[in-house]
């Protein structure tokens, strides 16, 4: 029986010395597996007498049970140890700063709207909004556009399909000027608003998309004149582009809803194949403006002999492209995350004239 005592001590030592679950499994297979030490001894008992088999079988079963119990206890201990090690390795220290992960970005359109809103709010303007689907009166007629005006043609404007007469004359607004009309119809002067929002026209290339954004401004009062318009736009352009001496040039133009009308150019330099804004002797058209046409005032229920005002409008994508060097208008709407990470802005940094426009 001494050989069994030696075997028992050896097997228990292997179990006790197992440093991990893999080593413990190897000890179990070496003791209790099909080719294990105890299994081999049990298979060799056929050569013994009946009494010897009983005695040796009982002894082997005791060793087998003792080894199995030792394996179970060691397995529990090693499992708990492995769990503690894993928990320690995967522990999260909530006092540490977060891991650097890709952060969200503010789209340049949203950033630009916030910037121009901050500038005009400092001048006393409020933000006005209106529906994207407009009727013919607000989008065209009230703005002094004749029936044969090119903007009314099907190739330029998205008309809503008629449905039992309910959508007759309904269009996707081609500019945000209907917001000006709604504001004049709803309240009396003094009026000082900007109207940023989506607009729609049937066009698509590097500088045009079927849906784009505009901001228009409207000031109506009893003593508003062209000098006020010029001062307002000079201050806006210099604040938005961050160039204190940015020159502006007002060229006579024509719009049905303003008289007199003007297009505004800003100073630039195109030499070397690059566009640089500033006082460099060249010019770039940026927006349209003018004094509100008396007929528009009358169409909106205002006495043109008592009130006068000015209006202006510009493409938000256009001024964003100029300021931030974005070459293709179509990329604004392609939902490319790489583009947004490059041209986007840090969230929660609200533009202001005091803290700075660009986040």
pLDDT-above-70 percentage for the chain: 90
Reference 135, options 169, 99, 174, 182; nearest CA is 169
Burial class (CB in 10 A: 0-12, 13-18, 19+), 23: middle
Regarding predicted confidence, which is higher, 19 or 181?
Answer: 181
Tell me what pLDDT residue 37 has. 79
Residues 42, 326: Cα–Cα separation, whole Å: 84
Question: Can you tell me the mean pLDDT for 213-219?
Answer: 95
Domain shared by 117 and 77, yes or no: no
Reference 111, options 353, 355, 345; nearest CA is 345
Residues 13, 31: Cα–Cα separation, whole Å: 11
Domain shared by 280 and 166, yes or no: yes
Assess if residue 99 is contained within a domain. no
Tell me what pLDDT residue 197 has. 94
Domain shared by 25 and 166, yes or no: no
Tell me what pLDDT residue 241 has. 93
Average pLDDT value for the chain: 85
The DSSP bridge partners found for residue 200 are: 211
Domain shared by 69 and 146, yes or no: no
Assess if residue 126 is contained within a domain. yes
- Which tens digits make up the pLDDT trace of 120-129? 999 999 999 9
Tell me what pLDDT residue 95 has. 81
Domain shared by 188 and 85, yes or no: no
Cα 289 to chain center, whole Å? 32
- Per-residue confidence band for 54, with pLDDT thresholds at 50, 70 and 90: confident
Question: Can you tell me the mean pLDDT for 321-325?
Answer: 91
Question: Can you tell me the mean pLDDT for 135-163?
Answer: 77
Tell me what pLDDT residue 102 has. 66
Boundary of a domain, candidates 89, 117, 133: 89
Domain shared by 42 and 15, yes or no: yes
List the structure tokens of 140.
Answer: 């065209």
Assess if residue 131 is contained within a domain. yes
Domain shared by 85 and 112, yes or no: no
- Measured over the CA atoms of residue 16, residue 21, residue 25 and residue 26, the dihedral's sign is negative
Boundary of a domain, candidates 89, 116, 137: 89
CA gyration radius, the chain: 41
Assess if residue 169 is contained within a domain. yes
Domain shared by 188 and 303, yes or no: yes
- Ranked by mean pLDDT, the top range of 25-29, 85-89, 182-186 is 182-186
Assess if residue 355 is contained within a domain. no
* pLDDT above 60: residue 43: yes
Is the Cβ–Cβ distance between 222 and 318 less than 8 Å?
no
Domain shared by 76 and 132, yes or no: no
- Name every residue whose Cβ is closer than 8 Å to that of residue 239 and which is 6 or more positions away in sequence: 119, 353, 357
* pLDDT above 70: residue 356: no
| Residue in this structure with the two tokens 């079927």, named with its chain if needed | 210
Boundary of a domain, candidates 89, 120, 144: 89
Assess if residue 8 is contained within a domain. yes
- Which tens digits make up the pLDDT trace of 91-140? 877 787 766 666 788 999 999 999 999 999 999 999 999 999 998 888 88
CATH number for the domain that contains residue 313:
3.30.930.10
Domain shared by 233 and 150, yes or no: yes
Question: Can you tell me the mean pLDDT for 306-334?
Answer: 91
Domain shared by 85 and 117, yes or no: no
Q: Which of these ranges, 80-94, 181-195, 222-236, 263-277, has the smallest mean pLDDT?
A: 80-94
- Per-residue confidence band for 224, with pLDDT thresholds at 50, 70 and 90: very high
Domain of 31, in residue numbers = 2-89
- Count up the domains in the chain and report the number: 2
- Which tens digits make up the pLDDT trace of 247-289? 999 999 999 999 999 999 999 988 887 888 988 889 999 999 9
End-to-end C-alpha distance for the chain, whole angstroms = 86
Tell me what pLDDT residue 90 has. 84
Tell me what pLDDT residue 154 has. 54
Assess if residue 176 is contained within a domain. yes
Cα 276 to chain center, whole Å? 28
Residues 283, 291: Cα–Cα separation, whole Å: 23
Domain shared by 149 and 294, yes or no: yes
Regarding predicted confidence, which is higher, 95 or 342?
Answer: 342
Is the Cβ–Cβ distance between 159 and 201 less than 8 Å?
no
Query: What is the DSSP pairing of strand 133-135 with strand 276-277?
Result: unpaired
Assess if residue 272 is contained within a domain. yes
Tell me what pLDDT residue 206 has. 63
Q: For every residue of the chain, which 3-state class applies, written as one string?
A: CHHHHHHHHHHHHHHHHCCCHHHHHHHHHHHHCCCCHHHHHHHHHHHCCHHHHHHHHHHHHHHHHHHHHHHHHHHHHHHHHHHHHHHHHCCCCCCCCCCCCCCCCECHHHHHHHHHHHHHHHCCCEECCCCCEEEHHHHCHHHCCCCCCHHHCCCCCCECCCCCCCCCCEEECCCCHHHHHHHHHHCCCCEEEEEEEEEECCCCECCECCEEEEEEEEEEECCCCHHHHHHHHHHHHHHHHCCCCCCEEEEEEEECCEEEEEEEEEEEECHHHCCEECCCCEEEEEEEEEEECHHHHHHCCCCCCCCEEEEEEEEHHHHHHHHHCCCCHHHHHCCCHHHHHHHCECCCCCCECCCECCC
Question: Can you tell me the mean pLDDT for 69-83?
Answer: 86
Is the Cβ–Cβ distance between 214 and 316 less than 8 Å?
yes
Question: Can you tell me the mean pLDDT for 319-342?
Answer: 89
Regarding predicted confidence, which is higher, 82 or 38?
Answer: 82
Is the Cβ–Cβ distance between 197 and 212 less than 8 Å?
no
């Amino acid at each position: 029986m001494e050989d069994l005592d030696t075997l028992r001590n050896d097997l228990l030592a292997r179990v006790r010395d197992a440093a991990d679950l893999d080593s413990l499994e190897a000890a179990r297979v070496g003791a209790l597996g099909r080719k294990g030490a105890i299994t081999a001894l049990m298979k060799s008992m056929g050569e013994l007498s009946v009494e010897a088999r009983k005695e040796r079988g009982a002894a082997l079963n005791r060793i087998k049970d003792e080894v199995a119990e030792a394996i179970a206890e060691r397995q529990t201990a090693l499992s708990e140890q492995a769990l503690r090690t894993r928990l320690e390795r995967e522990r999260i220290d909530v006092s540490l700063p977060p891991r650097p992960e890709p952060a969200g970005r503010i789209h340049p359109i949203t950033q630009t709207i916030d910037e121009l809103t901050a500038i005009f709010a400092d001048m006393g303007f409020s933000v006005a909004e209106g529906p994207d689907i407009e009727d013919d009166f607000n989008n065209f007629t009230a703005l002094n556009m004749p029936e044969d005006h090119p903007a009314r043609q099907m190739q330029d404007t998205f008309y809503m399909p008629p449905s039992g007469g309910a959508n007759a004359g309904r269009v996707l607004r081609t500019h945000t000027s209907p917001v000006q009309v709604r504001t004049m119809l709803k309240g009396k002067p003094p009026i000082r608003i900007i109207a940023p929002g989506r607009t729609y026209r049937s066009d698509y290339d590097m500088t045009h998309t079927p849906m784009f954004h505009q901001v228009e401004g409207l000031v109506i009062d009893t003593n508003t004149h062209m000098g006020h318009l010029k001062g307002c736009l000079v201050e806006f352009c210099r604040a938005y582009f961050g160039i204190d001496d940015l020159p502006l040039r007002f060229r006579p133009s024509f719009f049905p809803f303003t008289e007199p009308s003007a297009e505004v150019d800003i100073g630039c330099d195109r030499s070397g194949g690059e566009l640089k804004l500033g006082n460099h002797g060249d010019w770039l058209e940026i927006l349209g403006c003018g004094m509100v046409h008396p007929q528009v005032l009358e169409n909106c229920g205002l006495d043109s002999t008592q009130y006068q005002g000015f209006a202006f409008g510009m493409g938000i994508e256009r001024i964003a492209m100029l300021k931030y060097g974005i070459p293709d208008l179509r990329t604004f709407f392609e939902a490319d995350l790489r583009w947004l990470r490059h041209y986007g802005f840090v969230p929660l940094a609200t533009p202001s004239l005091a803290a700075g426009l660009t986040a």
